Amino acid sequence: MAICIITGSSGLIGSESAKFFHEKGFDVVGIDNDMRSYFFGKDASTGWNTEKLKEALPRFQHHNIDIRDQEAVNALFKRFGAEVTLVIHTAAQPSHDWAAREPFTDFTVNANGTLVLLEATRQFCPDAAFIFTSTNKVYGDTPNVLPLKELQLRWELGPEHAYGEHGIDESMSIDQSKHSLFGASKVAADVLAQEYGRYFGLKTGIFRGGCLTGPAHSGAELHGFLAYLVQCVVTGKPYTVFGYKGKQVRDNIHSYDLVNAFWHFAQKPRAAAVYNMGGSRHSNCSMLEAIESAEKLAGRKLQYTLGDAARSGDHIWYVSDVRKFQTDYPEWKYRYGMNDIMKEIVAETIERYGKKA
Ligand SMILES: NC(=O)c1ccc[n+]([C@@H]2O[C@H](COP(=O)([O-])OP(=O)(O)OC[C@H]3O[C@@H](n4cnc5c(N)ncnc54)[C@H](O)[C@@H]3O)[C@@H](O)[C@H]2O)c1
């Protein structure tokens, strides 16, 4: 029986991966120590999702291991050895702002943790495909030098620019820009995953995500903007938009579409393959557009303020060009667009928080 090891298995992408690959016939071994509640408080805990997965998936097992704990990670990998055909590494400290509070925690989780997992894969299951969820923050604030135009509700890049029609591709430099400490720890992990591919021949796929979203997101103010925004609309909590007049643009990809991309990669893995992966031109929105849409769907107005200060290193406009992945895996297609994503999050949030409103 093929085994898939998933780190961060109770988080948004990890849990969606657990369900997806379980359905594809894998035995799923999840690693998650609910560190998200340490990062963002108990409202952001992913413990509820661990219980949900254990109930729903008969061939799922959960291990409360810190990915930095090399001894525990090695013992687990050794137990399953070459039966492990796929490793999906999503566990992370995911926020810019939080990283600056505890740089060592951020770096050791994101960089050292990734090294522990890559090395365990090399030692105990070297033929497995290894998927790493990187981030578009590896490009630092370089996207902010693009010649953007201010429109009524969003910043926009014209079609005359090389990135205008399809978004930003993998040729953008990841060097010499401001990343935030989070971006820097993810760069370290991204380059390590590439190196284990180039140097050791491990089949590593590095997915540089835009905004990832979906119903399993435990929204926190510092991470998971659509989930948190909708939570504020539904519960009446005030919301602050950080800078750029609320016109900053993000592309949003549904967790299903991302995990489905993992599946296509896992069937024909390559070594050191780097992909920008997000909603692309297909699915993106500005903050103001997202607020408008959430208010319409939830039937409630959001109390929000436009703060002047942008988050350090935050992108003004980021849309992923996903054509490299589409060229390598032409059978992969989007299932969700921006409107479907918003509808789903609003429905899920009303179910989870609506009664408290
Ligand atoms: N959500 C986004 O918008 C986004 C965008 C780009 C990239 N990413 C990347 O995708 C990955 C998954 O993101 P997500 O939104 O699913 O995150 P998430 O916070 O929902 O899930 C991560 C999970 O990892 C667990 N975890 C954290 N540190 C751990 C540790 N030391 N040991 C074991 N478990 C630990 C957390 O408890 C949490 O359940 C991350 O690597 C993130 O950097 C996310």
List, for residues 321-339, the tens digit of each pLDDT value.
Answer: 999 999 999 999 999 999 9
228 — pLDDT class (breaks 50, 70, 90): confident
Which atom of ligand 1 is found nearest the CA of 68? 31
pLDDT tens digits for range 139-191: 999 999 999 999 999 999 999 999 999 999 999 999 999 999 999 999 999 99
* Residues whose CB is less than 8 angstroms from the CB of residue 269 and which lie 6 or more positions away in sequence, other chains included: 129, 203, 205
CB of 90 sitting under 6 A from ligand 1: yes
- Point out which residues pair with 155 in neighbouring strands: 150
Closest CA to 311 of 327, 329, 287: 287
CB of 109 sitting under 6 A from ligand 1: yes
Which atom of ligand 1 is found nearest the CA of 109? 31
Distance between Cα 303 and ligand 1 center (Å): 28
* Residue 58: both structure tokens together: 């008969």
Distance between Cα 91 and ligand 1 center (Å): 4
Q: What is the pLDDT of residue 226?
A: 87
Closest CA to 110 of 27, 193, 166: 193
Distance between Cα 150 and ligand 1 center (Å): 32
Helix, strand and coil percent figures for the chain, each rounded to 5: 45, 20, 35
> Which of helix, strand or coil describes residue 239?
strand
Select the more confidently predicted residue: 210 or 286.
286
Residue length of the chain:
357
Instruction: Give the predicted TM-score (pTM) of the model.
Output: 0.95
Distance between Cα 160 and ligand 1 center (Å): 36
* Residues whose CB is less than 8 angstroms from the CB of residue 181 and which lie 6 or more positions away in sequence, other chains included: 96, 99, 100, 103, 106, 107
Average pLDDT estimate for 126-135: 98
Q: What is the pLDDT of residue 313?
A: 74
